[in-house]
Structure formats: C-alpha cells, structure tokens
Amino acid sequence: MPFKCPYCGLYFCTEHRLPENHQCEAIDKAQTSKNEQLPGFEGQKPVGYRDVYPFLRISTRRFAFSRKEIIHLAIAALLVIGVGFSFPNMKYSDYPVLVMLSVLFALSFLVHELAHKLLAQKYRLWAEFRLTLMGVILTAISMIPSFLKIIGPGAVVVNGPADKRTIGMTSIIGPTINIILASVLCVAAVFVRGWIFEVVAFYNVWIAIFNLIPIGVLDGYKVFKWNKIIWIIAFAASVVLGAIIYRFFWFP
C-alpha cells in the first residue's frame, strides 16, 4: 500500500515512507520542533515529526508484544496448524503424527517471524507481526489436501530509522533460522527413520528459498541490496540443502 509523505506530498512504499529514506525535499519541515507550525496544518495543534510517525517512539521495554500482535500470531499459528492437518494420504490412525507435523509446521513458521521481530527490536526498531489478507487467503487454500502448500499468513512489519546493514541483518536472520532447523531435522531423520522429519526439513528449506528470492518485499531483496555475497551464500545453502533432502531422503 502507498504512503503519502505529509511534507512533500508524494507517495512511497513502506521502505521509503520516511522523509530521510526518500530524500524528501521538505526534510527541514519534518525536523521542525513541536512548537513550530507546519504549512498545511494552520489552525490545528502544532505537529512535530514524532507526532506524524508515533511508531518511532522507542519503548523502554525490549522484546515486547502488543495484544494485537499476539492475536495475529495466534491466528497465524492456527492457520499453519490447519495446513499440517491437511497433509494428503494420511489416515485417521495417524492422528498423533498429524498433530506432531502440524505443531512442527507452526513452530517453523513462528521462529522465522519471531527471529525477524526480536533482532529488529534489538536494534531499537518498531517491529510487530501482522496478518495480511492475501497471505491468509493463500494459507487457507493450502488447507485443501494437496502437496502444494503456500504458507505465509502474515509477516513482521519493521519501521524506524535503519541503514542497509541493519535492514539486511533483520532480513537474513529468518531464512538462516530455517536453514539451521532443516539441517538439524536432516540429522534427526538419519538416526530416526521417520518421514515427518524429512517433510518438516524440506518445509523449512522451502521457507528459506522462497523468502530469499530477491524481489518485492521478500527478505532476499533487502539482503541482496545490503550484501550480495551473503545473499549468494544463504540462497545457495538453502538450494543445496533442498536438493540433498529431495535426492537422499525422498528418492534414495
């Protein structure tokens, strides 16, 4: 969704909505004190930079969750659990396996999003998980029994003054966590011959590969802009790991 800058009047994406991120021609107006009146706000209460962007106020509590965010996370977790229960060719006798599969699916999704959030908050940025309409629809469709699963009911929204390195770090942490989880599950699958570990491992790899695609609002685009070498290493690692799972576990 576009955002209109209240100072220059132009429209920008989320990444460039702040005056300092789009080289706003009226940056001097954005930095005026609260005691000064901005053009266009005559007759109204004086408006300062922090009034227009209240989410930039740094909280004294680090790693905090709002009530709204908890509700969104809970709904997202239930949607992902529902996808786990829709895995094809499962019998009712396999109910305990379905429960385990669904829980692992939800945990894989949640650790990815929470990694983004916690690291962003460590950098003193505003970060909260939010559901998206399209994401909820695609995840709900994935509850229909099939092997094609698109699980992404929402994402962590990050706002605040940050350079390319900070944005890149908060973006790469999610896929990195999934790559680590997939590796651990592959090791578990070697010692415990259970297909559930293989499926969840491949699911984590799929999360990493998809999010590392360098387009749009995906993590890969921000990482690619920050450090192309790190992006290549992360993307190659996820693709190679996915190929290993596909070749040696699914079709040995």
Query: Which residues form the catalytic set?
Result: 113
Residue 196 to residues 101, 116, 210, Cα–Cα distance (Å): 6, 26, 21
Quote the CA–CA distance of 220 and 231 in Å, as a whole number: 7
Nearest to 216 by CA among 76, 10, 21, 13: 13
Nearest to 224 by CA among 181, 85, 215: 215
Token pair 């999360």 is at which residue?
A: 207
Can you tell me whether residue 149 is helix, strand or coil? coil
Structural contact between residues 139 and 152, judged by C-beta atoms closer than 8 angstroms: yes
